[in-house]
Structure 1
Amino acid sequence: MRTELFEPDVTTGELELEERHSLRRVAGLSTELTDITEVEYRQLRLERVVLVGVWTEGSVSDAENSLAELAALAETAGSEVLEGLIQRRGRPDSATFIGRGKVDELRDVVIATGADTVICDGELSPSQLRNLEKQVKVKVVDRTALILDIFAQHAKSKEGKAQVELAQLQYLLPRLRGWGESLSRQGGGAGGSGGGVGTRGPGETKIETDRRRINQRISKLRREIKAMRTARQTKRSKRSSSGVPGVAIAGYTNAGKSSLLNRLTSAGVLVEDALFATLDPTTRRTAAEDGRVFTISDTVGFVRHLPHQIVEAFRSTLEEVAYADLVLHVVDGAHPDPEGQVAAVREVLSEVGADRIPELLVINKVDAADEETILRLKRAWPDAVFASARSGQGIPEVHAAIAQRLPRPAVDLRILLPYDRGDLVARIHRQGQVLDTRHTDEGSELRVRVGEHLAADLEQFVVPR
Structure 2
Amino acid sequence: MTEHMGSTEGLELEERNSLRRVANLRTELEDITEVEYRQLRLERVVLVGVWTEGTAEDADNSLAELKLLAETAGSEVLDALIQRRQKPDPATYIGSGKVEDLRAAVVATGADTIICDGALAPSQLRNLEDRCKVKVVDRTALILDIFAQHAKSKEGKAQVELAQLQYQTQRLRGWGGNLSRQAGGQAAGGEGIGGRGPGETKLETDRRRIQMKMTKLRRELKELGKARETKKANRKRHEIPSVSIAGYTNAGKSSLLNRLTDAGVLVEDALFATLDPTTRRTQTSDGRVYTMSDTVGFVRNLPHQLVEAFRSTLEEIAESDLILHVVDGSHPDPGGQIAAVRSVLADVDALDVPEIIVINKADTADPLVIKNLLAREPHAVVVSARTGEGIDELLSAIEADLPQPATHVDVLLPYARGDLLNQIHTQGEIESLDHESDGTHVVARVHGHLAAELADYAVK
Instruction: Confirm or deny: 8 A CA contact 1:292 1:431 kept in the other structure.
Output: yes
Instruction: Confirm or deny: 8 A CA contact 2:178 2:203 kept in the other structure.
Output: no
1:178 shift after superposition: 5.7
What are the superposed Cα offsets for residues 85-114 of structure 1, whole Å, 9 maximum, x if unpaired?
Answer: 111111111111111111111001000000
The structure 2 residue matched to 1:359, chosen from 355, 361, 382, is 355
Q: Describe the SS at the equivalent of 1:305.
A: coil
For residues 283 and 214 of structure 1, do their structure 2 counterparts lie closer, same or farther at Cα, with a shift above 3 Å needed?
same
The structure 2 residue matched to 1:303, chosen from 299, 306, 311, is 299
1:200 shift after superposition: 4.0
Aligned positions of 1:138-217 closer than 5 A: 138-176=134-172, 177=175, 179=177, 183-187=181-185, 198-217=194-213
What are the superposed Cα offsets for residues 387-415 of structure 1, whole Å, 9 maximum, x if unpaired?
Answer: 00000000000100000100110111110
Aligned positions of 1:237-386 closer than 5 A: 237-386=233-382
Instruction: Confirm or deny: 8 A CA contact 1:322 1:354 kept in the other structure.
Output: yes
What is the total number of aligned residue pairs between the two structures?
A: 446
1:383 shift after superposition: 2.3
1:182 shift after superposition: 8.9
Deviates more, 1:178-187 or 1:112-121: 178-187
1:33 shift after superposition: 2.7
1:158 shift after superposition: 0.3
Instruction: Confirm or deny: 8 A CA contact 1:193 1:200 kept in the other structure.
Output: no
One-letter code of the match for 1:179? G
Match of 1:118 in 2: 114
Q: Describe the SS at the equivalent of 2:258.
A: helix
Instruction: Confirm or deny: 8 A CA contact 1:55 1:88 kept in the other structure.
Output: yes
For residues 459 and 336 of structure 1, do their structure 2 counterparts lie closer, same or farther at Cα, with a shift above 3 Å needed?
same
- For 1:197 and 1:242, how far apart are their aligned partners in 2? 64
Instruction: Confirm or deny: 8 A CA contact 1:50 1:81 kept in the other structure.
Output: yes
Instruction: Find runs of 4+ consecutive structure 1 residues off by over 2 angstroms.
Output: 176-188, 191-202
- For 2:247 and 2:145, how far apart are their aligned partners in 1? 21
1:187 shift after superposition: 3.5
Q: Describe the SS at the equivalent of 1:344.
A: helix
What are the superposed Cα offsets for residues 209-257 of structure 1, whole Å, 9 maximum, x if unpaired?
Answer: 1111011000110111111112212211211121111000000000000
Which residues of structure 2 form unaligned runs of 5+?
A: 1-7, 33-38
Identity of aligned residues (%): 66
Match of 1:66 in 2: 62
The structure 2 residue matched to 1:129, chosen from 101, 125, 135, is 125
What are the superposed Cα offsets for residues 394-452 of structure 1, whole Å, 9 maximum, x if unpaired?
Answer: 00001000001001101111100000100001111111011101111110111111011
What are the superposed Cα offsets for residues 368-388 of structure 1, whole Å, 9 maximum, x if unpaired?
Answer: 112221222222223210000
Match of 1:391 in 2: 387
- For 2:201 and 2:9, how far apart are their aligned partners in 1? 49
Q: Describe the SS at the equivalent of 1:31.
A: coil
One-letter code of the match for 2:457? F
1:184 shift after superposition: 2.5
- For 1:180 and 1:216, how far apart are their aligned partners in 2? 19
Deviates more, 1:256-265 or 1:194-203: 194-203
For residues 224 and 66 of structure 1, do their structure 2 counterparts lie closer, same or farther at Cα, with a shift above 3 Å needed?
same
For residues 196 and 151 of structure 1, do their structure 2 counterparts lie closer, same or farther at Cα, with a shift above 3 Å needed?
closer
One-letter code of the match for 2:26? S
- For 2:178 and 2:155, how far apart are their aligned partners in 1? 38
For residues 316 and 44 of structure 1, do their structure 2 counterparts lie closer, same or farther at Cα, with a shift above 3 Å needed?
closer
TM-score between the two structures when normalised by the length of structure 2: 0.93
- For 2:374 and 2:322, how far apart are their aligned partners in 1? 21
Instruction: Confirm or deny: 8 A CA contact 1:287 1:293 kept in the other structure.
Output: yes
TM-score between the two structures when normalised by the length of structure 1: 0.92
RMSD, matched Cα = 2.1
Instruction: Confirm or deny: 8 A CA contact 1:95 1:127 kept in the other structure.
Output: yes
Q: Describe the SS at the equivalent of 2:415.
A: coil
Match of 2:232 in 1: 236
Q: Describe the SS at the equivalent of 2:441.
A: strand
Q: Describe the SS at the equivalent of 1:183.
A: coil
Instruction: Confirm or deny: 8 A CA contact 2:178 2:202 kept in the other structure.
Output: no
One-letter code of the match for 1:334? S
Match of 2:42 in 1: 46
One-letter code of the match for 2:248? Y
